[in-house]
Amino acid sequence: MKEFILEVPGDMTIYEAAEMKEIFEKTLSKNDDINVNLSNVSEIDSSGLQLMVSLRETALKSKKTVAYVAHSQAVIDLLDLFDMTSHFGDPVVMKK
């Protein structure tokens, strides 16, 4: 199956968690290879991080792939805060 690019349209906080979870689950059910574009994420909290971890784990169990790409500064800062930058194995370009 062809690679699918999922554009996250905005924030990934507790307020968007239920909606984002549904979007992630639907996308994963229809695609085997997903790139999640995080460039438009202006705010992310631990709920957003949990969604990222959950999507990756669910994909691995289903023998599918999920990569996080184009990390916004908010995402980079959160990954750094929780020391999770290397957890996902995706390249993260740190801006100066």
Of all residues in the chain, the percent with pLDDT exceeding 70 is: 95
* Helix or strand holding residue 33 (H, E): strand 33-37
Domain holding 52: CATH number? 3.30.750.24
Q: Tell me the pLDDT tens digit for each residue of 30-63.
A: 999 999 999 999 999 999 999 999 999 999 999 9
Q: How far apart are CA 2 and CA 81, in angstroms?
A: 34
Rg (C-alpha) for the chain, rounded Å, is 12
Indicate whether 61 belongs to any domain: yes
Residue 16 lies in a domain: yes
Tokens at 29, concatenated: 């059910």
Q: Is the pTM of this model over 0.85?
A: yes
- Residue 89 is predicted with a pLDDT of 73
Please indicate, yes or no, if residue 52 is contained in any of the structural domains.
Answer: yes
Which residue segment(s) compose the domain that 73 sits in? 4-81
- What's the total number of domains in the chain? 1
Residues 6+ apart with CB under 8 A from 68: 35, 36, 38, 52, 75, 88, 90
For residue 15, being part of any structural domain is answered with: yes
Residue 93, domain member (yes or no):
no
Q: Is residue 9 part of a domain?
A: yes
